[in-house]
Amino acid sequence: MYTFGKHERLCSKKLIDALFLSGHKFILFPYSVHWMVCPRELLPPGTPAQVLIATSKKKFHHAVDRNRVKRLTRECYRLHKPTLYQYLECHDTTIVLALNYIHNEILSYQTLNHKFDRLTSMLIEAVNKQLNPPPSQQP
């Protein structure tokens, strides 16, 4: 359940290009989140979501700091993943998303873990709005 294997990471160059070209985006400090609904057949079977985690070389000059941020992010995503997967499987949909760390200092694990509670709920809300548009949006 709380695993994070290779098939759950976004590696396809074409999907990455498509995500940043035509995906949706919102910011929840310290992350900027790109996400996009993706056809099921493009992802490996049994995988409701693929994620990409990135950090800017301009914000963190040293590789050890970039690795630290990505490891903390990965750990948080791993622990919050079941909530997201449960929602996606209920609605029979698949997404790809990118988590880009935009702060320029390293936050503690506890802080990031707290942020991920809100990040997950915001993401589910955004996907929900995309799948079931509110009636006011449709004339």
Partner RNA sequence: ACGGUAACCGUCUCUAUCGCUGGCAGUGCGUGCAAACGUGCUGCGAGAGGAAAGUCCGGGCAACUCGAGCCACCAUACUUCCUAACGGGAAGGCGGCAGGAAGGAAAGCGUCCUGCCGACAGCAAGUGCCACAGAAAGACAAACCGCCUACGGGCAAGGGUGCAAGCGCGAGGUAAGAGCUCACGACAGGUGGCAGUGAUGCCGCCCGAUGGCAAACCUUAUGGGUUGAAAGACCAAAUAUACCGGCAGUUAAGGGCUGGCUCGCCCGUUGCCGAGGGGUAGGUCGAUAGAGGCCGGCGGCGACGUCGGCAGUAGAUUGAUGAUAGAGGCUGUCGCAUUGCGACAGGACAGAACCCGGCUUACGUGGUUGCCGUUUUC
Partner RNA sequence: GGCUCCUUAGCUCAACUGAAUAGAGCAUCUGACUACGGAUCAGAAGGUUGCAGGUUUGAAUCCUGCAGGAGUCA
Residues that bind RNA (CB under 7 A): 1-7, 9-14, 16, 52-54, 58, 61-65, 67-68, 70-72, 74-75, 78, 109-110
Q: Residue 70 or 130: which CB sits closer to RNA?
A: 70
In angstroms, what is the minimal distance from the CB of 132 to RNA? 30
In angstroms, what is the minimal distance from the CB of 46 to RNA? 8
Burial of 93 (0-12, 13-18, 19+ CB in 10 A): middle
In angstroms, what is the minimal distance from the CB of 49 to RNA? 14
In angstroms, what is the minimal distance from the CB of 12 to RNA? 6
Q: Residue 9 or 129: which CB sits closer to RNA?
A: 9
Q: Residue 62 or 105: which CB sits closer to RNA?
A: 62
Q: Residue 5 or 139: which CB sits closer to RNA?
A: 5
